[in-house]
Amino acid sequence: MPDGAAATSEKPDTAAAEAWLEALDDALSRRDAGAASSLFLPDGHWRDILAFTWHIRTFSGATAIRAELGRRLDTVKPTGFSLAKDRTPPRKVKRAGREALEVIFGFHTSAGHGQGVVRLVPDPEGSGELRAWTLMTALHGLTEHPERLSAARAGGDAFAREFGGANWQDHRDRARAYADREPTVVVVGAGQAGLAIAARLNALGVDTLLIEKNRRVGDNWRSRYHSLTLHNEVYVNHLPYMPFPPTWPVYIPKDMLANWFEFYVEAMELNCWTDTALVSGDHDAGSGLWTLNLQSGDGTKRTVRPRHVIFATGVSAIPVVPDLPGLDTFQGTVMHSGHYTDGKDWKGKRALVIGTGNSAHDVAQDLQASGADVTMVQRSPSYIVSLAEAQKVYALYDEGPPLDDCDLLAASFPFPVLRRSYQLSTAEMKKVDADLMKGLEDRGFRLDFGEDETGFQMKYMQRGGGYYFNVGCSDLIVSGEIGLLHDESIARYSAQGAVLGDGTTHAADLIVLATGYLNQQETVRAWLNDGIADRIGPVWGFNDGGELRNMWCRTPQPGLWFTAGSLAQCRIFSRYLALQIKACEEGLISAEG
């Protein structure tokens, strides 16, 4: 998410915003793509999330925008572009270093109703009339298939007085069992990604089964290292429909979050099978059904045949175990950071932590605090930023608009603007953290600031890691309380530890591999098959259009979907993923992308 600089104190120009929207509405109602594209800057951007294209795509430049509108207008029939009711009114802001009038609006299409954001700036080459610098149009709901909320919610008051009949618990037990039906959707993984999409689908009336390999929902967080807390603030991290209580701490401890996940499943009436793993699966193109073979912890097997499978196993599913020469001869303990819990058993022992990302730093700091002698092994440069500075990329959420408005604004930035915003925020963070950066460099720690100096957010979306939010470990490196080696200084590993280039041995009792995780394409390869994995290609990271590859959208494999990311990303994009699946089920679109 971009820097989200606070709005200026100028009075919002509501009349100007209304005039621009009226002009857009008039052009689109007349199906005049040329007139509509003339309302943009020549280098303006249009990001569409399902509303016009049924995809997540960005079109840059008035020529590309005109061409795409020309292809879509007769089918989409967009109309009713006007200021959104009960939303944040138009206001002057600075985004990515540029002042603009930011406007939230609503509209309708042949399929449903949408919401969007336009940022208007004076035309620098014309009369000063406002033109669109960025426009985002997003489908928010389907006209004929709304979310079942409030009076329209499932069951109404059906459970109030069923004397002599089945009560709510009976209905829930029957729904969870799937004894007499197949689920329409199976979601693999009950972390934040799985819970968010299951809740959205449930609200749309799509029969969804969550499967979770752990014994309890939330164990994917409970089982992580003892000291773990979230690295971004609570205000950004809510799940759909149920915000965290206002009494919660700013940084949520892992077990607190895990317990909330377990509670969320019950409160949102989600059908979830825990202690259940996906063993294998395949897709039948003729029937459009999946055959998924599941197995519970006690060995019980079951096969289910849904039309859709959503992998919600996160950006980090299968650990990367690098081929380090001689590591197989090491006589101490080797573990991946994903299996590390706490350092109490390593007091007085020597530990090597291989890697310099978030997990590596947190594990190293936990071991050091537990009394271990710790050295980190840096394999490649890393981006370091202090925790407080890192929160500035979420500054938009501190500007005052309610969460739903902030989510809409956060989703509205096209890639070129997002990139520039991150460059500016990274440069500012670097200034604030200058003393820390110098201290690390003096110790020999190699720094980088992301591709084109775009910082940690782009690193996360491109590769899922490669950065650290400093909560104290960097200071321990600077002071020498945690040692530092470079991977190239290690010739090989031996029974006693790491053999350095000069022939000396850096002894160790424990080696922790904080070496990251494989791409989700490899998760598909492991649990489905090579053919499907090769067909979809890489998952996560940016495609040529500046959107995340295969995320929250139809993939080259019909009926296979992916969701992952932070709690905020899962909350925001679960809406759009759920709408696509509902549209497939209702025949509005094909599952083939």
Domain boundaries, the chain: 14-142, 169-317+518-585, 327-513
Cα distances from 332 to residues 70, 98, 356, 386, 485, in angstroms, run 66, 55, 21, 33, 19
Q: Give per-residue burial for 106-139: e unless 16+ CB within 10 Å, then b.
A: bbbbebbbbbbbbbbbeeeeeeeebbbbbbbbbb
Find how far residue 529's CA is from the centre of its chain.
Answer: 25
Contacts of 420 (CB under 8 A, 6+ apart): 96, 97
Residue type, 412: S
- Say whether pLDDT at 149 is over 90: no
Architecture of the domain defined by 327-513: 3-Layer(bba) Sandwich (3.50)
- Say whether pLDDT at 147 is over 50: yes
Tokens linked to 535: 């067909």
How confident is the model over 81-90, as a mean pLDDT?
A: 95
* Chain mean pLDDT for the chain: 93
Cα–Cα nearest to 202, from 252, 267, 158, 251 = 267
H-helix or E-strand spanning residue 117: strand 112-122
Give 497-521 pLDDT, tens digit per residue: 999 999 999 999 999 999 998 889 9
How confident is the model over 328-342, as a mean pLDDT?
A: 94
Give 101-120 pLDDT, tens digit per residue: 999 999 999 999 999 999 99
Are both 14-142 and 169-317+518-585 of the same fold? no
Q: How far apart are CA 414 and CA 106, in angstroms?
A: 19
Most confident of 51-65, 306-320, 386-400: 51-65
pLDDT band per the 50, 70, 90 thresholds, residue 464: confident
Q: How far apart are CA 403 and CA 339, in angstroms?
A: 35
Q: What is the CATH number of domain 169-317+518-585?
A: 3.50.50.60
434-442 and 415-432 helices cross at what angle (nearest 10)? 70
Write down the pLDDT at residue 43: 95
Query: pTM for the whole thing?
Result: 0.94
H-helix or E-strand spanning residue 136: strand 130-142
Write down the pLDDT at residue 315: 67
Find out whether 18 and 25 touch, Cβ atoms under 8 Å: no
Residue type, 486: H
Give 186-198 pLDDT, tens digit per residue: 999 999 999 999 9
Write down the pLDDT at residue 316: 60
The yes or no reply on domain 14-142 and CATH 2.40.50.140 is no
Strand stretches in 175-288, DSSP E: 185-188, 208-211, 271-273, 276-284
Q: How far apart are CA 243 and CA 230, in angstroms?
A: 16
